[in-house]
Amino acid sequence: MTRETILANARLILPDRVVTGRLHLAHGTIAAIAPGTEVPPGAVDCGGDYVAPGLVELHTDNLERHIEPRPDVDWPHAAALVAHDAELAGCGITTVFDALRVGSNPGGRRRYLPYARQLASELLELRAARALRISHFLHLRAEICSETLPEEMAAFGPEDRVGIVSLMDHTPGQRQFRDLDKLRAYVIGKRGLSESDFVEHVAELKELRAQIGDAHERVAVSEARRYGAVLASHDDTTAAHVANSAGHGVAIAEFPTTEEAARACQAAGIPVMMGAPNLIRGGSHSGNVAAEGLARAGLLDILSSDYVPGALLLGAARLGRLWNDMARGIATVTRAPAEAAGLSDRGALIEGRRADVIRFAERAGVPVIGGVWVRGVRVG
């Protein structure tokens, strides 16, 4: 059945401005954009609400939270995937790159076991069965300090919709966890390790990095090219880290931990992505650079919801107020991530683009979703 929808009397968030007008969705695309307050017969009167492109999420750990809602609780994956998909749709996210860890330590102190290949297959099966509301791609988080990275990455191929591969070096004492006290609080609080377990965990990761880290980094870069995926760095801290990332062909800098690294990324032409929870909370939970500071300095290009899906639109709206430019704020969660991930068919209200669209209004300073459409079909 052909679906056509007109969203009228709306504040349309276009790539460079906000205008009052109407949006005509037909045959899965944006068919027309027209200015004015007119509400044609059969159109949805948005009453001045915002209408924006659907949000594009490049890095969320939300799926892992659904499959393991408590430590060591393995929730049925199909049910977890459907619930995760519905939650994102309800938050206005219409395209997601689901972050899955590749690289495990079956023999280590914190026995991380492989799971990504099985979960990815289940996700692709649900997608083929049309059980999901939004568009899903894979984001493989390549753990450099792990025992099984090469074989886990070898199990994926170009057919698996791997859109992003990020280089995750969690060696204690550098990058995200330069402060070992922050790492201690995080690991012991999340996994209940004893102090002696923590000391062994730190020593284990440092030994793995020294023995196989460089080789695993080369594997991850090579595999990303084989998949046809965009390569991302993670937690770059120094200009030297950024230079290394640029040498690999990194196209997205996830969560640089210092202003020095963010400035080096800007100089290298690498878009900087920061976590919306960092922006909303007023700082990093790991003690690293604050997203708001980077935004004020013109060093923030993309937001990610990271571990709170509802933070994405809230963060973009806050940036809109911070910059006094709602179009610019919304671009950090729509056009900018779509372009960084190589998706030229979505992320902006432009005629001919995918009809991935959201309607929202701000109530008491919080954006409230009033409708979500994917390819012109209402899903939330």
State the Cα angle at 253 between 252 and 258, rounded to 5°.
Answer: 165
Q: Within 10 Å of residue 162's Cβ, how many Cβ atoms?
A: 25
Q: Domain 1-53+346-380 in CATH: superfamily?
A: Urease, subunit C, domain 1 (2.30.40.10)
Domain spans, the chain:
1-53+346-380, 55-343
Give me the mean pLDDT over the 152-172 stretch: 91
62-77, pLDDT tens digit by residue? Answer: 999 999 998 888 999 9
Query: Model confidence at 1, in pLDDT bands (50, 70, 90)?
Result: very low
pLDDT band for 5, please (50, 70, 90 cuts): very high
Q: With a cut of 70, say whether residue 376 has pLDDT above it.
A: yes
Which pLDDT score is estimated for 155? 98
Q: Using H for helix, E for strand and C for coil, what is the string for the chain?
A: CCCEEEEEEEEEECCCCEEEEEEEEECCEEEEEEECCCCCCCCEECCCCEEEECEEEEEECHHHHHHCCCCCCCCCHHHHHHHHHHHHHHCCEEEEEEEEEECCECCCCCCECCCHHHHHHHHHHHHHCCCCCCEEEEEEEEECCCCCHHHHHHCCCHHHCEEEEEEECCCCCCHHHCCHHHHHHHHHHHHCCCHHHHHHHHHHHHHHHHHHHHHHHHHHHHHHHHHCCEEEEECCCCHHHHHHHHHHCCCEEECCCCHHHHHHHHHHCCCEEEEHHHHHHCCCCCCCCCHHHHHHCCCCCEEECECCCCHHHHHHHHHHHHHCCHHHHHHCCCHHHHHHCCCCCCCCCCCCCECCEEEEEEECCEEEEEEEEECCEECC
From residue 348, how far is each of 4, 209, 301, 334, 373 by CA, in Å?
A: 19, 41, 15, 7, 14
pLDDT band at 8 (very low <50, low <70, confident <90, very high): very high
Whether 335 has a pLDDT exceeding 90, the answer reads: yes
Class of domain 55-343: alpha beta
- Is the fold of 1-53+346-380 the same as that of 55-343? no
Most confident of 6-15, 60-69, 142-151: 6-15
pLDDT, average across residues 328-341: 98
Q: So what's the pLDDT on residue 339?
A: 98
User: What sign does the CA torsion over 360, 362, 363, 365 have?
Assistant: positive
Q: CA Rg, the chain, in Å?
A: 21
At 220, the pLDDT band (50, 70, 90 cuts) reads very high
Whether the predicted model's global pTM rises above the 0.85 cut: yes
